[in-house]
Structure 1
């Protein structure tokens, strides 16, 4: 695998995409997509920007992604060898695992008794955050761009001016009176 136009290491990217896709599956981006297994319809964690979120230095995982991808591939190679699962040598081992085996391996890595559970759970949480909160994007911009996770969970769209107003209370009733110093935009004056 060669570097792509983004300058990202394609082995690392494919491995991390395959992990994210295991957490929140989505449909393949094309017939040659191997990182996304196509285990679900619609966009999953990868289409929601999991790699962009993981690589954001503000998240604290970016510097460790090379090591995580290498470790994940080592675990995948051992997993496949132990179970007699054939792997395509042209792909990183985790990417080459069939989806059900990816899922089983992630289950092992995130199990309460796994010594490295914290880092694998962290990677899973970031994959999930890309889908269900678009933490790396402006919410109105993500919705305007058709972010698959936010749309899938029914995240409310802002009004035409980009502000959120809820004509009926989200809990079905008013929980508190509006503070008297609240401005028309919803901020405290």
Structure 2
């Protein structure tokens, strides 16, 4: 829940249900959590999966200290970072990623993976992500492939053809 709240702070989304505590619900549509941030963070290829439990503990320790500093009462039924209101989560993450902090790189790495889940669906194939209506790719207007699973672009992205097709190009677009 703590890591979901962190991911939602990085790329906010809407609550999954009225009693969703991890997602603050400050933005419409799916954010990092709906885009698979936790799946990406837990993927062995990221190299951060083993460090997630200590990061969650540290984040909650920082949230408790932040709440004490600001005289905030935290809901004890959820982890401390989750109990913070969205604006306080944001302020705390800004502090954790500020220049000069010795642990800054770890928090930035965590934020980077949360962003990657949203803007590239790095934990799954692009075709599968689009078939599942991945919120980040759809928000960015990423085009779905044609029925055969291939991407073709009938209009030039620059509004004009940049080069003539090589005469040996096959009908599938592959060079001969």
Normalization by structure 2: what TM-score?
A: 0.94
Task: Return the match for 2:65 from 71, 78, 93.
Answer: 78
Q: Distance in 2 between matches of 1:124 and 1:71?
A: 15
- Which whole-Å deviations, capped at 9, do the CAs of 1:63-111 have from their partners, x for residues lacking one? 1111111111111110111111110111111000000000000000111
Q: Distance in 1 between matches of 2:122 and 2:84?
A: 29
Q: Distance in 1 between matches of 2:104 and 2:166?
A: 44
Alignment partner, residue 23 of structure 2 = 36
Counterparts of residues 117-136 of structure 1 (less than 5 Å): 117-136=104-123
Alignment partner, residue 24 of structure 1 = 11
Shift of 1:155: 0.5
- Which whole-Å deviations, capped at 9, do the CAs of 1:101-137 have from their partners, x for residues lacking one? 0000000011112211111111111111111110111
Q: Residues 145 and 76 of structure 1: is their aligned pair in 2 closer, same or farther, counting only changes over 3 Å? A: same
Shift of 1:179: 5.3
Residues paired across the two proteins, number: 176
Alignment partner, residue 11 of structure 1 = none
Shift of 1:164: 0.6
Alignment partner, residue 92 of structure 1 = 79
SS at match of 1:91: coil
Shift of 1:182: 4.8
Alignment partner, residue 141 of structure 1 = 128
Q: Residues 76 and 182 of structure 1: is their aligned pair in 2 closer, same or farther, counting only changes over 3 Å? A: farther
Runs of 4 or more consecutive aligned structure 1 residues displaced over 6 Å after TM superposition? none
Shift of 1:172: 2.4
Q: Residues 183 and 55 of structure 1: is their aligned pair in 2 closer, same or farther, counting only changes over 3 Å? A: farther
Alignment partner, residue 35 of structure 2 = 48
Normalization by structure 1: what TM-score?
A: 0.87
Q: Residues 31 and 113 of structure 1: is their aligned pair in 2 closer, same or farther, counting only changes over 3 Å? A: same
Alignment partner, residue 173 of structure 1 = 160
Comparing 129-138 with 177-186, greater Cα deviation is found at: 177-186
Q: Distance in 2 between matches of 1:57 and 1:142?
A: 19
Alignment partner, residue 152 of structure 1 = 139
Uncovered stretches (5+) of structure 2, i.e. residues with no partner = none
Q: Distance in 1 between matches of 2:170 and 2:112?
A: 36
RMSD (Å), alpha carbons? 1.5
Q: Residues 159 and 115 of structure 1: is their aligned pair in 2 closer, same or farther, counting only changes over 3 Å? A: same
